[in-house]
Structure 1
């Protein structure tokens, strides 16, 4: 116990200076929530002798018996809120925003045989207290959310003022929402968030309801990121949910709150509104209050205004990159003038990658990369998912002849959207940020700056599973990790192999026979050019037009191709047959992939080996083969 006391010396010093707590230690049962020394070193709030009373309850309560709230000994007996967080990464108990270090809990009895319990916590509990001369004569102890809002000028909440929102709550007769007994979470925008002044006109009763989560007390550390909670504005027509998200800005972690209007009406636009939490975790009698930088649900800024709204916002580095292009910035003009668009915006962390930093210095390349992130139409996430149901959805970007390709991953009823552009596959980490002229989706990588070899790309791209599995035979794929050469690989996508299976079922089945690996390798070799450089589709078109084929050496035999462009699509001609290039110029660190809609393969390639099996028409063979290969891989 001596070591335990050493780690709690600052709390013990505070405890010994307070007369009330000393008396309780000797004569009453009690529970103490003791912050560690490190917690006090991080604490930047007011420190007085009464602070310790907010860390004490007059009941001895073990962790097992902690209810959702427990009264403290501070004047007015404000509650301490208890959260049990159980998810994949956590099985923890929190008191307000402090995590209980469960292994360090301790029980004892004082000289009067009263049981006393000690729980060690990782943060100092910070109560809401009045400040200033005026508050001493008429203090408001343990206020509920409305009392806090009404008398906010009496409390120590830093420079923030809440008069604008308070006025709207009064005008719209929504006092009862903030006065409600129980346990709730309240988001209150500060006065600075009401600029421009016209923003206030957009706040109606439904918007006020959208700032309150009923029946949940949500402190930031105790609440999982991205978990959505229904607000009071979740009804038959309008449905609004709220969640937290965190992001790193340098070494600083910033917490945001986002309202998502999943169903709207004429007055309330669908989509996400993101706001900084400028002061978090203010405990009140009926829950917790978070002060936020701007009102939720209100969509009144353009995409460019959202990017530049805050110097340390979630996309501040993206905005800096755009502005570094200087004068005659066409990309900035497009963001400013376009009426309907969708921006896939890389997060601040995405710009820290070394490979990305090198590209930023090349302004010509940077212009191309930025255009790859812009689609000139409104694409909400549910629109993309709907368009992706029956086929791979592709959207044209502001970069000529370049498309974005989408994939939807489903896990435990949760859907994650990925987007590929220029060979880079990125995850949408924060979708559907609504603006007056479109949507912003925050992604975790910069598109168009390759970071994987061809081997790694094949292994992770859900559209290229079959070619990857075929290439695992005879060690064919291993060469595609080589950084000394540059590869141009014409990769049939899964859909191409499915079409081949339907036309030539026996030949397709032969490709997966154990004793056919050598011939499978020969077939794949026909698709790969290894040279001192990689060939983009434009390079190939320059050398191989519709009349003169371009002959390129492969490990098997020369590959003779012609290239044509039609209706903004590319086609390659092989063996007298024109094949659509579904995704040209998928850049990798050691070459380029061109995803094609048919393999360079004839049924005779399989029959010539004498290894073709009898004809089997089994529609499920593809899925069975893939499942087997994934299991044994």
Structure 2
């Protein structure tokens, strides 16, 4: 039975080549005893199992149906050529020494890597016994390196191409976050290997990548990730499986732009956008030191509105702003993002002085998931810390700066705004935020702002979130909303040009959907006796700490500004504009659910007094 199969089995083919069994949890119930796992023989998935029959002699036979042919690695030369018996069922070393015997020629030739391995006396690494995974760069991968870079393929680098005691076929690595120790651990280098399918599908035609993640290195090797495409995968060998890849692992790109230039890489569409429509950026990505690029994958281009992207491309100023929204002028790794995000809201400024905001999901996982927001778009880093000599690249799953979400969808998807969204669902108040025909400006209290209310006004907080005070929730939320306008920070600041100066602030009264509040901009400098306010034009003056909302003595600081949506703009603030009296159950503030009880009590008391008199 399939659930009783060992992890490896010899077949009846001449030479008895092995096949390998892999089991992945399916999340299903085992109705017939095996469906709780997905079973793979090499890279073929068992789609029907445990069909039992008996032959004429009465011996039991079991049939398992797989979704693709299980192909052995066999010699492809002419029948009359004498071949050493050891090559009939090759291990990875035999494959490396004589790849032409197995049809690995031209684009799949691996002779250059074999020369490096043999020259360093490391052939024995590829004939280690057991179940192992080997990644071998094709010739083109090494030929593309500069001669000095070819010398970087040293003992430690070669060891990083081997995952010992694990057989990893492309379809049997279900989670791209799962990392495996490479053989480089024997050199006191911490180099992990992971694999991913960038199309999130499970078919033979998909593109797969392997990543080396160097987290502890030495003076000769860079920390960071190197990503290589598997050009020919799942070659079974006597001691495991071999994958041919298009670049050596651990060897970082000479520059960010050289990494983008790979014609069949994950970032080819982003590179073509730069090359064809804003080539000046290529110089920056070659010459500048210590950059961080958040590069949208090819899949990210499928998620953006094509018409809106075309409008940006046709406007050189907008395209420059969009592309530079993806670049920070320093090295920023996900380790730093995770560390700083655990203490406070972490933000970074792009080379055009716009803000990127970061959040961490699955904080306690071995590899936390990092999400970011820029120009109204939430993106997730899918491949972090790709190292280049002049910086680091993070592959993201969205194009920043071209929003596709309504204000409703933004509140629903942003983890920092989840409490406001939860409240806005009461009595379906937030339904109007779905409309693409209206414009909104929303000043949204962060989760931290609501937690402050929880500490300072615990009774009011409890009433608001219990679900029976929808009228009060509506009253408070509408104090934070303007309908009919989508006011950016720049436009809000412009309103204060002729406004009243109070202390070190200019302020302008804003007419909200419910009542009035004040927008305040800090005085930035004086010139010839005239006060000037922050316009956000320069790096020194684009500080959100200089902008506030004020209502009844409550001053809310701007945490995030200009979160663009297709029907408005969201500004995140650090306080809720409310007081305890907003949810006091008296007078007109009685919730509708308690109104009948209030009236009944009043009538009963009045009737009793009448009888008494």
Superposition TM-score tier, normalisation by shorter sequence = 0.7 to 0.9
Cα distance in 2 for residues equivalent to 1:577 and 1:212: 60
Q: Are the aligned partners of 1:510 and 1:611 in contact in 2 as well (CA < 8 Å)?
A: no
Structure 1 residues 573 and 556 mapped into 2: Cα distance closer, same or farther (>3 Å)?
closer
Q: How far is 1:554 from its partner?
A: 2.8
Cα distance in 1 for residues equivalent to 2:578 and 2:567: 25
Which of 35, 39, 54 aligns to 1:108? It is: 54
Structure 1 residues 465 and 229 mapped into 2: Cα distance closer, same or farther (>3 Å)?
same
Q: Please tell me whether residue 157 in structure 1 is matched to residue 133 in structure 2.
A: no
Match of 1:246 in 2: 197
Q: How far is 1:339 from its partner?
A: 0.6
Q: How far is 1:171 from its partner?
A: 2.2
Cα distance in 1 for residues equivalent to 2:42 and 2:441: 57
Match of 1:230 in 2: 181
Match of 2:71 in 1: 126
Q: Are the aligned partners of 2:441 and 2:481 in contact in 1 as well (CA < 8 Å)?
A: yes
Q: Please tell me whether residue 93 in structure 1 is matched to residue 70 in structure 2.
A: no
Structure 2: gaps of 5 or more residues: 29-35, 501-506, 523-533, 535-539, 591-613
Match of 1:402 in 2: 355
Q: Please tell me whether residue 463 in structure 1 is matched to residue 416 in structure 2.
A: yes
Instruction: Please state whether the residue corresponding to 2:294 is helix, strand or coil.
Output: strand
Cα shift readout 1:21-42 (whole Å, capped 9, x = no counterpart): xxxxxxxxxxxxxxxxxxxxxx
Q: Are the aligned partners of 1:546 and 1:562 in contact in 2 as well (CA < 8 Å)?
A: no
Cα shift readout 1:445-476 (whole Å, capped 9, x = no counterpart): 11122122112211222212332233233432
Q: Spell out the pairing of 1:366-445 with structure 2 (5 A cutoff).
A: 366-410=319-363, 415-445=368-398
Match of 2:265 in 1: 313
Cα distance in 2 for residues equivalent to 1:577 and 1:70: 72
Q: How far is 1:70 from its partner?
A: 2.1
Q: How far is 1:393 from its partner?
A: 0.8
Q: How far is 1:401 from its partner?
A: 3.4
Which of 138, 144, 147 aligns to 1:190? It is: 138
Cα shift readout 1:225-250 (whole Å, capped 9, x = no counterpart): 41221111125841111111112399
Cα distance in 2 for residues equivalent to 1:152 and 1:135: 19
Structure 1 residues 599 and 365 mapped into 2: Cα distance closer, same or farther (>3 Å)?
same
Q: How far is 1:500 from its partner?
A: 4.4
Instruction: Please state whether the residue corresponding to 2:150 is helix, strand or coil.
Output: helix
Structure 1 residues 514 and 577 mapped into 2: Cα distance closer, same or farther (>3 Å)?
closer
Q: Please tell me whether residue 568 in structure 1 is matched to residue 542 in structure 2.
A: yes
Q: Spell out the pairing of 1:223-302 with structure 2 (5 A cutoff).
A: 223-226=173-176, 227-235=178-186, 237-248=188-199, 253-302=206-255
Match of 1:173 in 2: 121
Q: Spell out the pairing of 1:70-81 with structure 2 (5 A cutoff).
A: 70-81=9-20
Match of 1:630 in 2: none
Instruction: Please state whether the residue corresponding to 1:221 is helix, strand or coil.
Output: helix
Cα shift readout 1:218-272 (whole Å, capped 9, x = no counterpart): 2112222412211111258411111111123999521111111122121221111
Cα shift readout 1:560-617 (whole Å, capped 9, x = no counterpart): 434343842240342466542111111112111111122333455556957999xxxx
Match of 1:547 in 2: 499
Cα distance in 2 for residues equivalent to 1:357 and 1:351: 12
Cα distance in 1 for residues equivalent to 2:151 and 2:80: 33
Cα distance in 1 for residues equivalent to 2:49 and 2:75: 35
Which of 273, 276, 285 aligns to 1:335? It is: 285
Cα distance in 2 for residues equivalent to 1:356 and 1:496: 37
Cα distance in 1 for residues equivalent to 2:337 and 2:321: 23
Match of 2:598 in 1: none
Cα distance in 2 for residues equivalent to 1:484 and 1:106: 63
Q: Are the aligned partners of 2:49 and 2:63 in contact in 1 as well (CA < 8 Å)?
A: no
Cα distance in 2 for residues equivalent to 1:392 and 1:306: 31
Instruction: Please state whether the residue corresponding to 1:395 is helix, strand or coil.
Output: strand
Cα distance in 2 for residues equivalent to 1:64 and 1:543: 71
Cα shift readout 1:457-514 (whole Å, capped 9, x = no counterpart): 1122221233223323343222212222100011111222334454555555554466
Instruction: Please state whether the residue corresponding to 2:20 is helix, strand or coil.
Output: strand
Cα distance in 1 for residues equivalent to 2:468 and 2:253: 64
Q: Are the aligned partners of 1:359 and 1:365 in contact in 2 as well (CA < 8 Å)?
A: no
Structure 1 residues 99 and 510 mapped into 2: Cα distance closer, same or farther (>3 Å)?
closer
Cα distance in 2 for residues equivalent to 1:492 and 1:122: 52
Q: How far is 1:109 from its partner?
A: 0.9
TM-score by length of 2: 0.82
Q: Spell out the pairing of 1:10-25 with structure 2 (5 A cutoff).
A: none
Higher mean Cα deviation, 563-572 or 299-308? 563-572
Cα distance in 2 for residues equivalent to 1:339 and 1:87: 46
Counting matched residue pairs gives: 547
Instruction: Please state whether the residue corresponding to 2:184 is helix, strand or coil.
Output: strand
TM-score by length of 1: 0.80
Match of 2:574 in 1: 597
Cα distance in 2 for residues equivalent to 1:80 and 1:356: 46
Cα distance in 2 for residues equivalent to 1:612 and 1:155: 82
Structure 1: gaps of 5 or more residues: 1-61, 614-633
Match of 2:559 in 1: 582
Q: Are the aligned partners of 1:186 and 1:213 in contact in 2 as well (CA < 8 Å)?
A: yes
Q: Are the aligned partners of 2:133 and 2:162 in contact in 1 as well (CA < 8 Å)?
A: yes
Q: How far is 1:135 from its partner?
A: 7.9
Higher mean Cα deviation, 564-573 or 317-326? 564-573
Match of 2:531 in 1: none
Which of 11, 22, 42 aligns to 1:83? It is: 22
Cα distance in 2 for residues equivalent to 1:492 and 1:172: 61
Structure 1 residues 285 and 438 mapped into 2: Cα distance closer, same or farther (>3 Å)?
same
Q: How far is 1:354 from its partner?
A: 4.8
Q: Please tell me whether residue 534 in structure 1 is matched to residue 486 in structure 2.
A: yes
Q: How far is 1:315 from its partner?
A: 0.8
Q: Please tell me whether residue 325 in structure 1 is matched to residue 325 in structure 2.
A: no
Cα distance in 1 for residues equivalent to 2:478 and 2:441: 11
Instruction: Please state whether the residue corresponding to 1:399 is helix, strand or coil.
Output: coil
Structure 1 residues 606 and 101 mapped into 2: Cα distance closer, same or farther (>3 Å)?
closer
Which of 305, 318, 342 aligns to 1:355? It is: 305
